[in-house]
Amino acid sequence: MNSQIIGTIGLLCDIIGAILVAVEVVSVYHGDITGTMNDAWETHGKPTPEYKRFEKRKRKIMGVGLVFLLTGFSLQIVALWIK
């Protein structure tokens, strides 16, 4: 495979990874983060299930973005060494 093709694929992976990470860094949760106080004091201060899902999805997408970034940078390094 041509080194220019490998380098271009690596650059595209970097762009995709950077977009995924950037979008998730600036995303903001627009709901209640913790449960409201009611008769049960133990629910106060605990994250709501919706917030937990939001954070889990955020971490997953950021992880995929980081994998794309690492793959892209690795492909660019490999492209430099191929003659």
Alpha-carbon distance of 9 to 25, in angstroms, equals: 24
pLDDT at position 43? 55
Domain boundaries, the chain: 3-81
Q: Over its length of 83 residues, how does the chain's per-residue pLDDT go in tens digits?
A: 799 999 999 999 999 999 999 999 888 888 777 766 555 555 566 788 888 899 999 999 999 999 999 999 999 999 999 87
What one-character-per-residue DSSP string does the chain give?
A: --HHHHHHHHHHHHHHHHHHHHHHHH----S-SBBPP-S-GGGBTSBPHHHHHHHHHHHHHHHHHHHHHHHHHHHHHHHHH--
pTM of the model: 0.79
CA dihedral 71→73→78→83, nearest 10 degrees, is: 130
pLDDT at position 47? 82
